[in-house]
Chain A
Amino acid sequence: MRFPRFSFFLLCLFCAILLFAFTLLLTSTAPTDLPAKLASLSLFVLALAMTLEAPLLTRGVQQLGSGANTRDWIRSLLILVFLIFFLMLLERGERLMDFSEDGFHQLRQSSIRFLAQRKFSLTVFAMRNRDAELYGILERFLEVLQTHLPQASVRWIDPSTQPTQARESGIRTLPSILVQGEADTVLIGRSQLFGNMGKTARGRAFYGESALVEAVKSLENSQVVHLLFPELGKGPFLDLSAGGYSQFVQLLKSQGFLPSISETLPSTSEPTLVFLPPRKIPLPLSLELVKRIQSGAKTILFFEPSPHQPLGELSREMEWEYLGFPVVDPLRNAGNELSFLLPHFGSHPIAARLDNHFPVLLPGTSAFLSNSPRAQPILRSSSFSWAENPSGGSKNPVFNPESERKGPLDLALGIGENLVLLADQGFLSNEFLPHPGNQALILNSLYFLSGRLERASAYPKFISERPLQVPEQTRRNWIALILFLLPLSAWCIGGLLSFLRWREQYSSK
């Protein structure tokens, strides 16, 4: 009996080690690097087997082409060289073909237009082996960026090989991007690029586009914005803590705005955010506001549920009615885990740039009513919501047609080009300010009023991972069963064919 070659045993060993490594990888519950070590060992075994077979392999290569002549081989080689050269030529300026639903890998046209008009350079600090997935996303993003903006220079620095440069640049997290303008630099850290580092239910978020646009914006001259907080620190919303008001100011600064706190209404026409007090608005403030808005000055007004019908004269003139009572979505009472309202976007230019995948979150809100042609909804409630009787407090509010109105109701309105009304200051409270959708709404409002709507930020995109909506265990088990039945069926068919062939052979004997 001919004994198999030693390399045959090595090949079997290679397969066995690899199989064991993958079984471990797929079945282990605790993280372990044993599969990786076993995989490396298997590669070593394969390399050893190939070394033993090298003489045979060389002979095989020498015998190859016993039919074809030298001319054929030279021709093949030339074709290969030509193809490689052709590929390298094609690479210049080629466009990415992005089939993902969100256009995850693409830059938005508004971002491209914005960035193309600015001069900046990027220095990227990243270590590939440590964060392979993040590095890949970043690399792809910058490749696309350079395709659309060839004038943007990008430099990569690996802190493991160039620690001094990394240290001098002041980076603290990896990956990071240093954006250099003509006179200033802005650092985009890991959390700005990738947000919440744990994967969300929607997958890995990447904010690179918006972070870059914001960084470039902040390199430019800032637009002054006035903030009027008559009762700052006293209300339940933005407070004086680090996560409150100062975070809001930081946000504005990062977006190229220069916030200026006022206790009185400024007389300039520069955009002004006015947080109306929850109780009755003082008359002087009310009169000043009316005068300001009637003069066409750019203003954003934040309302609270009470007082009812503030700024009466202005309301009449602008033809809007402030309903003032909280609007509650019926899902809230159905035990939905969401504790806040997700409004729908209207047709206003501010809302058109908001992303449906990352909506504005509100704990509850008031509503406006307007039939004026000058008024355009920015946020709307669902058509099923109704106003809850504020004095009821019952779990199942009863719709009162005399005092309440059915949806959809406008939760934010734009009146002409100078006035934006937003109901409920709660959506800019400490709790909800960090949500990019909420930030985007107020920032887009400021861009709109300052005539810079093209600077509306790009919103984070997600790798499209959609969770399977299969709540019941039974249904999941059924799916698994069907999937395991398929290989079983294939084996049964194979077994049947083998049996038939065996029977044929047996009968022929």
Chain B
Amino acid sequence: MNQFFLLSAHLLRVQISSSGTYYILGAFWLLLAYIFSLSMVQVRQANIIPVFWWAGFSSLFLIPILCLNTYLKGSVDNFFTLQRTLGISTASITLGYFVQRVVLLLLLDSILAIQYGFLVLYGSPDHGLHTCAFLGLLCLQMAYLSVSLFVSSLSKDRILTMMTSVGLLLGLWLLSYANQLFSGILTPLGQILRKGSLYYPFSHFLSGAFYPTELLSLCIWIFFPLWLCSIQGKR
């Protein structure tokens, strides 16, 4: 456990001192600032829920990029391998990388908190709704992160990793429309596929209400790929 904390602290230090982190932060913040300002300046309404939606959708492309280099630094024997020889379990290493990127996600989403602060200052936003939406966004992004980490652990080819991650995440997003494709006898299949998608529970979080199974489904999407990641790297 101690090694896990050491690893996480080390990875976080590396993250904060990396210039790439700030470039990504800037780009993401710019996009969300633009959307928020658009609604505020043009429509005279500061509605932050579309900003959450855009944050969720743009993360679909951003997070695979963040995970590209996780297992690819160096050549065959790399830092990941070295850590394993130091007695750190693959689960700890995987979790360490995961925690590092979750902190980055929290930094990325911090602009939503600032925007919400403006709503609190000048309006009367629904605290419950927005907290729920933020929770949904964080769970969605963590699910993206898990899936992307798992895909990047399968191959050392950057193009393949990027393509597969984005394709898989897009597919999971579009699964939410599965019930439109299936009708008649196949309707239950469409409904199951929809519930397995990432977007379906996220959309409910955005509306301020969700079922416990939807939260559980997102948790499965977060932890199961991480589990696969850790057993993938075992000896």
Binding site for B on A (CB under 8 A): 4-5, 7-8, 11, 15, 18, 26, 43, 46-47, 49-50, 53, 56-57, 60-61, 63-65, 67-68, 72-73, 76, 79-80, 83, 87, 90-91, 94-102, 104-106, 128-129, 136, 140, 158, 161, 201, 463-470, 475-477, 479-480, 482-484, 486-491, 493-498, 501
Residues from chain A with a CB closer than 8 A to the CB of B167 are 46-47, 50
- Asked whether B45 lies within 8 Å of A468 as measured between CB atoms, the reply is yes
How near does chain A come to B196, taking the closest CB pair, in angstroms?
8
- Asked whether A46 lies within 8 Å of B203 as measured between CB atoms, the reply is no
Secondary structure dominating the interface of A: helix
**In the A-B complex, the 8 residue pairs with the closest CB atoms:** A494-B22, A464-B126, A100-B208, A468-B46, A99-B128, A497-B19, A483-B33, A490-B26
Which residues of B, 196-231, contact A by the 8 Å Cβ criterion? 203-204, 207-213, 216-217, 220, 224, 227-228, 231
Residues from chain A with a CB closer than 8 A to the CB of B227 are 76, 79
Residues from chain A with a CB closer than 8 A to the CB of B118 are 468, 479
* Interface CB pairs A-B, < 8 A, 22: A11-B159, A46-B163, A67-B231, A76-B224, A87-B195, A91-B211, A96-B211, A98-B209, A101-B126, A101-B128, A128-B179, A463-B207, A463-B208, A465-B49, A468-B40, A468-B119, A470-B44, A476-B44, A480-B37, A483-B114, A486-B29, A498-B19
Q: Which of B23, B124, B183 contacts A494 (CB 8 A)?
A: B23
Residues from chain B with a CB closer than 8 A to the CB of A90 are 212-213, 216
Binding site for A on B (CB under 8 A): 17-23, 25-30, 33-38, 40-41, 44-47, 49, 61, 90, 111, 114-115, 118-119, 122-129, 131-132, 154-155, 157, 159-160, 162-164, 166-167, 170, 179-180, 183, 195, 203-204, 207-213, 216-217, 220, 224, 227-228, 231-235
- Asked whether A161 lies within 8 Å of B123 as measured between CB atoms, the reply is no
Q: How far is the CA of A338 from the CA of B67 in the complex (A)?
A: 55
How near does chain B come to A232, taking the closest CB pair, in angstroms?
43
Q: Which of A43, A50, A100, A494 contacts B19 (CB 8 A)?
A: A494
- Asked whether B157 lies within 8 Å of A98 as measured between CB atoms, the reply is no
- Asked whether A91 lies within 8 Å of B114 as measured between CB atoms, the reply is no
- Asked whether B40 lies within 8 Å of A100 as measured between CB atoms, the reply is no
How near does chain B come to A194, taking the closest CB pair, in angstroms?
15
- Asked whether A80 lies within 8 Å of B224 as measured between CB atoms, the reply is yes
Count chain B CB atoms within 10 A of each CB in A7, A136, A490 and give the residue with the most.
A490
How near does chain B come to A128, taking the closest CB pair, in angstroms?
6
